[in-house]
Amino acid sequence: MQRVFLKNLVWLQLLNWLVKPLWILGIEREMQMRLGDVWYGQYGVLFNLGLLFAVLLDAGLNTYIAKEIASSGRLIHAKRILLLRLYLGVLYVVLVGIVGWYFSLTLDLLAWVVLNQVLASIVMLLRAVLQGGQRFVSDSWLSVTDRLGALITCSLFLVFLPELFVMNSGIRLFLLAQFVGYAGALLLGCILVFWNKNPLGVIKSHTILSNDSIPTIDNSALAIDNFSPVTNQSQKESYRHWLQKIAWFALMAFSMSVFTRIDIQMIRSLSPENRVFLGGDNGFYQVGLYAKGYRLLDAALIFSTLLSTQLLPQFTGRIALKKDNTRLIWMGFRLVIWVGFGAALAAWFFDIPLMQLMYHKASNSADEIRTTSEIFKVLMIAFIPMATVHVFGTYLTAAGHVRWLATLALICVGLNVVFNAIEIPLFGALGAAAGCLLTQLIFALACIVKTQRSLGFVWNKSHYKTLIFMVFIGLLSFVLVGNGLGLKSINGLVISIAMYSVLAGYLLFYQETTDWYQKRRQITS
């Protein structure tokens, strides 16, 4: 079971790690160095405003679609979903336009952001259908198409039109490249989902965790009679019940969106005006510093986000078949804690060398490097609880605890806003990073406790021992290389990561490694 799961996970991760880091660490980093922190900060404000309200384009429907297909093999209420998405799309465009006009943002650039988010939301809907049907290979290819197209387009712009990558024109070209990527992904997504003898009933769900099958999607799930208007009382009650069910998915999606995206807007509005820097608006400047520290976290989140997209249909299918998820949860948690703790240690011990390596051409002073490094350290520690939520929060979603998750997310949003309102005026972007760490930690711990209380996962002594030994191995690896051998440069980072990855990986996956080795011996003997 776990071997096949890991095989699919490796394929999904491999494709994404071949493409998305090039975009985040290559193209986005190059754009920030060319535009400067202030202009890139303006782009960051526009982009995050689009993302902040992009929940209206989803409203939790993607999670609902994937969960419904994975659990029953059917996607009912197809017309209702499509109509609701259309109405929400119109609301999204109007709302973002009003907010952008009110805050005197550059509306033509904001229009490109809105268009890209609309295209991205359609691609995510198509991916939800593929994920629910457990067509992970198709989903893997679709997941990288947008960034691959944008990467190629932006690279061509940088080669042939480098003089245009300044101020507004640079932001406009950057957004145009993203549009090309999303348009290409939309085309591929439509082909994968609809190019079939059985349009819309294309997905044949099958679990990759065992030989047990999940019911397939048939035409009746999406047939024309499901598109008929709501006329009688029973249909109205059914429709009302469906909207109530969807509402909690929407509230959860909205809360999580605000939870993770409101930092940028608050940094822009609340940053201290008396900070001294080389020109420009201090709010945009602080956003630029935050973006520098956040960039590697954004890359790291690729791993846990992709893992969660694979876990959701697996959890849902196994819950529908009344199977235990303990081993799968423990497998997912070991994966994210292995990567997350290693990333946090790398940021803590080698923060300045990493920031110097990435931004040596763009930074104005040693003080700026130190400030960016502090933000980076705090955010990378936050990666541990964020990745943990991608396992335990995904299980709770599959188990139907959406109302609880939405309520928890709203509470954390409130805590985050209050903390940021106090800390950002004092410490700027660093205060926002601290607020991110605090609220993500609360959210992750609550998800772990809720999962245990719902009997989804029960901790035992072996779990605690494994984690304690992993922490010891990690600290030993980085302290020995950084302090013992005195290697505080990038070379030391590479050696530390190699030691930690091998030793901690063997500890965490000893049983799987042993089973694989024994099977290999049986095959070769």
What tens digit of pLDDT does each residue of 118-135 get?
999 999 888 888 877 777
**Cα-based distances in Å from 113 to 20, 96, 350:** 19, 10, 35
Does 146 fall in a domain? yes
Which of 23, 21, 12 minimizes the C-alpha distance to 142?
A: 12
- The CA-based angle 318-85-68, given to 5 degrees, is 15
Return d(Cα 90, Cα 84) in angstroms, integer: 10
Query: At residue 488, what are phi and psi to the nearest 5 degrees?
Result: -105, 10
Does 182 fall in a domain? yes
Return the number of other C-beta atoms located less than 10 Å from residue 13's C-beta.
18
Does 506 fall in a domain? no
Cβ neighbours of residue 185 closer than 8 Å, sequence gap 6 or more: 119, 123, 142, 145, 146, 149
Count up the domains in the chain and report the number. Answer: 1
Does 54 fall in a domain? yes
**pTM of this structure:** 0.76
Does 525 fall in a domain? no
The pLDDT value given to residue 516? 66
The pLDDT value given to residue 361? 60
Low-confidence spans in the chain with pLDDT less than 70 = 1-8, 59-60, 70-78, 196-239, 241-243, 245, 273-281, 360-365, 515-517, 520-521, 523-525
Place of tokens 């709770």: 396
Helix H or strand E segment including 183: helix 167-194
Q: What is the separation of C-alpha 233 from the centre of its chain, rounded to a whole number of angstroms?
A: 41
The pLDDT value given to residue 184? 95
Q: Which residues span the domain enclosing 358?
A: 2-459
The pLDDT value given to residue 260? 72
The pLDDT value given to residue 112? 95
Place of tokens 């991205």: 120
Return d(Cα 420, Cα 242) in angstroms, integer: 36
Cβ neighbours of residue 308 closer than 8 Å, sequence gap 6 or more: 390, 391, 393, 394
Which of 463, 312, 284 minimizes the C-alpha distance to 389?
A: 312
Does 186 fall in a domain? yes
Does 490 fall in a domain? no
Collapsing DSSP to helix, strand or coil, 64 comes out as helix
Does 126 fall in a domain? yes
